[in-house]
């Protein structure tokens, strides 16, 4: 091991940004713009067998994106609650809420953008459709390993805007270049691109179980904290989920907390 490289990495992780300093995410992430762009997917520095990293996220629970602890093998209170809503006899309202609370999959892959090579390796994130297109190309025997640094292939990403998609969002499609090319003619450049990559698993704040539980509680019952900032999309303000009326009436907070009690033989009812 090169201890000087490891020390530099440690210093980077431990350094704190100056007050008011903002992260320039354009140096970390690449987002396709409307039109055509040429990129090269680079082998991952963190998983040589697979350049794609799949991560689960929650959107709209707070005003920030929350990464699921399930990505790291930890308990996730939102996933536990969503699973509870699906238990027992089918209930439409419970099912709709559970769907809203399901984590969304996002896929990250390291790329070099042609014409912007000076920006180094960045992460391209996308959803299921683009992911399926890239996987289909990867298993096509006539194409082969398009990430190969010697005989790989560039990709053309074509993106259309909302006027073409009929939605508020852009849409990208993928085409593989027919000609095989090296990642770069410069050996040192290749080494830099392969080794200096942002790690998608380290870019997002990890919330504790209690922090996520509290955020979910406020999302479900915003009236508990009247000063809670509204999120987008707007959280529901009322819930009409079935309760066991034979039990003594509890406050919503107590009912919510009881869902996470670890008592053997306890049968939990839905909290709302």
Q: Which string of DSSP letters, residue by residue, matches 241-262?
A: ----TTSPP--HHHHHHHTT--
**C-alpha distances in angstroms, 90 versus 3, 87, 242?**
58, 8, 11
The whole-chain average pLDDT of the chain stands at 83
Contact by Cβ (8 Å): 83, 101 = no
Residue 246, pLDDT > 70, answer: no
Q: What is the predicted pLDDT for the residue at 34?
A: 96
The C-alpha atoms of residue 32 and residue 65 are separated, in whole angstroms, by: 21
Q: What is the predicted pLDDT for the residue at 194?
A: 98
Q: What is the predicted pLDDT for the residue at 9?
A: 66
The C-alpha atoms of residue 81 and residue 61 are separated, in whole angstroms, by: 13
Task: Find the DSSP H helices in 63-155.
Answer: 77-85, 92-101, 128-138
Least confident range of 20-34, 44-58, 174-188, 249-263: 249-263
Q: What is the predicted pLDDT for the residue at 27?
A: 93
The C-alpha atoms of residue 129 and residue 97 are separated, in whole angstroms, by: 24
pLDDT digits (tens, 9 = 90+) for 33-85: 999 999 999 999 999 999 999 999 999 999 999 999 999 999 999 999 999 99
Q: What is the predicted pLDDT for the residue at 13?
A: 65
pLDDT digits (tens, 9 = 90+) for 123-145: 999 999 999 999 999 999 999 89
Residue 227, pLDDT > 80, answer: no
Least confident range of 12-21, 120-129, 186-195, 211-220: 12-21
Count CB neighbours of 10 within 10 A.
Answer: 10
Q: The tokens of 94 are what?
A: 């419970």
* Percentage of residues in the chain having pLDDT higher than 70: 75
Q: What is the predicted pLDDT for the residue at 17?
A: 52
The C-alpha atoms of residue 220 and residue 98 are separated, in whole angstroms, by: 12
The C-alpha atoms of residue 270 and residue 84 are separated, in whole angstroms, by: 7
Q: Say if residue 221 is exposed, middle or buried (CB neighbours under 10 Å; 0-12, 13-18, 19+).
A: buried
The C-alpha atoms of residue 127 and residue 56 are separated, in whole angstroms, by: 11
Compute the average pLDDT of residues 246-257. 44
pLDDT digits (tens, 9 = 90+) for 155-185: 999 999 999 999 999 999 999 999 999 999 9
Of 170, 173, 47, nearest to 110 by C-alpha is 47
Q: What is the predicted pLDDT for the residue at 221?
A: 87
């Amino acid at each position: 091991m090169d201890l000087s490289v490891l020390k530099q990495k440690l210093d980077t992780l431990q350094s704190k940004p100056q007050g008011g300093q903002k992260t320039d995410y354009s140096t970390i992430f690449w987002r396709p713009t409307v039109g055509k762009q040429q990129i090269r997917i680079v082998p991952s520095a963190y998983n040589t067998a697979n350049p794609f990293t799949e991560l689960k996220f929650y959107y709209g629970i707070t005003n920030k994106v929350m990464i699921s602890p399930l990505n790291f093998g930890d308990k996730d209170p939102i996933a536990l609650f969503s699973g509870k809503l699906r238990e027992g006899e089918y209930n439409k309202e419970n099912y709709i809420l559970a769907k809203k609370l399901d984590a969304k999959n996002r896929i990250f892959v390291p790329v070099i953008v042609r014409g912007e090579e000076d920006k180094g390796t960045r992460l391209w994130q996308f959803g299921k459709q683009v992911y399926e297109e890239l996987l289909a190309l990867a298993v096509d025997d006539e194409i082969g390993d398009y990430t190969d640094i010697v005989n790989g292939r560039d990709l053309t990403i074509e993106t259309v805007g909302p006027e073409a998609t009929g939605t508020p969002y852009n849409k990208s499609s993928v085409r593989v270049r027919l000609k095989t090319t090296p990642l770069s003619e410069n050996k040192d450049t290749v080494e830099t691109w392969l080794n200096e990559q942002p790690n998608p698993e380290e870019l997002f704040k990890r919330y504790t179980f209690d922090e996520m539980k509290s955020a979910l509680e406020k999302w479900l019952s915003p009236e508990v904290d009247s000063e809670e900032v509204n999120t987008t999309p707007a959280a529901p303000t009322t819930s009409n989920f079935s309760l066991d009326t034979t039990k003594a009436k509890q406050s919503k907070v107590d009912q919510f907390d009881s869902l996470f009690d670890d008592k053997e033989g306890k049968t939990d009812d839905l909290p709302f």
